[in-house]
Amino acid sequence: MKILDGEVLVTCPGRNFVTLRLRTDEGVYGLGDATLNGRELAVASYLRDHVVPCLIGRSVDQIEDIWQYLYRGAYWRRGPVTMTAISAVDTALWDIKGKVLGRPVYDLLGGASRTSVLVYGHASGDNIGEAVDEVGRYLDLGYRAVRVQAGIEGLPNSYGVGRGHLFYEPAERGRPPETVFATGPYLRQVPMLFERVRNEYGESVELLHDAHHRLTPIEAGRLGKDLEPHRLFWLEDPVAADNQQAFRLIREHTTTPLAVGEVFNTVHDATTLIQNQWIDYLRMTVVHGGGITHLRKVAAIAELNFVRMGSHGATDLSPVAMAAALHFDMWVPNFGIQEYMRHTDETDAVFPHGYRFADGYLHPGDRPGLGVDYDDVLAAKYPYEPAFLPVNRLVDGTMFNW
């Protein structure tokens, strides 16, 4: 069975998504997510102009060889645009393989290692009180794990705090907005936030927090230490993720578990972290981490170094990426937890899918392949709209994240 063509589909049912659909000469098709938040059209062009023409006529059976061809053959390796494009091709090929064999993708990877996938949602509030209330809303829905973020007092807007209930969208239409951050108020507030959440809801719920790469190593060490009484499942992205050495210092100061990796795109971003066991959870995901083919190698190296996986799953990852992540999570032996932010009804309608939520867990479903489809008629109603992630500055205007 050969690749007949590849379509790059761009739609904006509330936010932008780029999807690759590979068709075979026998009428089977597979989907791969190619969404790179705020840089969507760069990946669309990479696929349309530089990848799809080289795929026509290749055998869909050769998933590994096609991955190597796109990674090694391009000469220019790594980087988020390249790796997101490779991920889309790889994911679509696994989808096709599952459909051809009549098996869900997790079965092809080695079968289920668990009955379903533990997920966490995002509770956000403009202040501590609202964030605490929002945790209760998630518990009422059956969640067993909740990430908690609150707006920082005195700052008009800060990154990573959702607006409204149950939905979370970090990108904004038009030119990139700018958010302000102040380390002092943030470091004072976060331990108070988690003290309130624990007092309100007790010990059984798993709690997580995302620092969005905004601290220095020693600030992160202090935050981890201050959060120890509240027993977090993990502290995510404490410092700039390209500073692997920083994690040694954080580790020396705290027993709060550490997670990083949503911006990593190959194993080479994480080798020092993994080999030294400086993190507990690696948050790379299928769509930005080289597809299932690369991520399973990353997970194997992590497993042998006692690091667990904890896939990124914000709303800018489409239902195709969410399904691929869930199949991966069902199989991967060293699984930790899966992030799960609900998509809007418009997005769910464009991408009908078989995965389902119950009692705090997601199951990918047992349809052949990934179990996700694409509704062209609905998608055509939502043309692309330029949108960007915010730029972060300190209150005096300084660019930071380093």
Give the Cα separation of 33 and 9 in Å (integer).
10
- Per CB under 6 A, the list member of 205, 316, 321, 382 interacting with ligand EZ4 is 316
Give the Cα separation of 92 and 292 in Å (integer).
10
The residue from 29, 71, 168, 212 that is catalytic is 212
Q: Which does 294 bind (CB under 5 to 8 A by kind): Co ion, ligand EZ4, none?
A: none
Report the residue number, 210 or 219, with the smaller CB distance to Co ion: 210
The answer to whether the beta carbons of residues 312 and 286 sit under 8 Å apart is no
- Least spacing, CB of residue 314 vs ligand EZ4, in Å: 3
- Per CB under 6 A, the segment of 41-49, 285-293, 308-316, 321-329 that binds ligand EZ4 is 308-316
* 325 Rama class: left (phi>0) / alpha (psi -120 to 50) / beta: alpha
Active site residue 122: no
User: What character string, x for contact with ligand EZ4 (CB under 6 A) and - otherwise, covers 58-97?
Assistant: ----------------------------------------
Asked if 210 is part of the footprint of ligand EZ4 (rule: CB under 6 A), the reply reads yes
Q: What does DSSP say about strands 117-125 and 361-363: parallel, antiparallel, or unpaired?
A: antiparallel
- Least spacing, CB of residue 396 vs Co ion, in Å: 25
- Least spacing, CB of residue 394 vs ligand EZ4, in Å: 18
Q: Which does 327 bind (CB under 5 to 8 A by kind): Co ion, ligand EZ4, none?
A: none
Report the residue number, 266 or 392, with the smaller CB distance to ligand EZ4: 392
Report the residue number, 213 or 367, with the smaller CB distance to ligand EZ4: 213
Q: Which does 230 bind (CB under 5 to 8 A by kind): Co ion, ligand EZ4, none?
A: none
- CB burial class (10 A; 0-12, 13-18, 19+) of residue 164? exposed
- Least spacing, CB of residue 201 vs Co ion, in Å: 22
Asked if 33 is part of the footprint of ligand EZ4 (rule: CB under 6 A), the reply reads no
The answer to whether the beta carbons of residues 275 and 283 sit under 8 Å apart is no
- Residues 114-173 interacting with ligand EZ4 (rule: CB under 6 A): 160, 170
Asked if 312 is part of the footprint of ligand EZ4 (rule: CB under 6 A), the reply reads yes
The answer to whether the beta carbons of residues 300 and 274 sit under 8 Å apart is no
- Residues 363-402 interacting with ligand EZ4 (rule: CB under 6 A): 389
Task: Using the structure block, give the residue that is written with the tokens 């990430």.
Answer: 147
Asked if 210 is part of the footprint of Co ion (rule: CB under 5 A), the reply reads yes
How far lies 297's CA from each of 75, 85, 157, 339, in Å? 21, 18, 39, 21
How far lies 188's CA from each of 182, 216, 272, 369, in Å? 11, 15, 31, 47
120 in helix, strand or coil?
A: strand
Question: Which amino acid, 282?
Answer: L
DSSP one-letter string for 192-239: HHHHHHHHHH-SSSEEEEE-TT-B-HHHHHHHHHHHGGG--SEEE--B
Report the residue number, 210 or 219, with the smaller CB distance to ligand EZ4: 210
Active site residue 343: no
Footprint on this chain of ligand EZ4 (rule: CB under 6 A):
37, 160, 170, 210, 212, 262, 312, 314, 316, 339, 389
Footprint on this chain of Co ion (rule: CB under 5 A):
210
Q: Which residues belong to the active site?
A: 159, 212
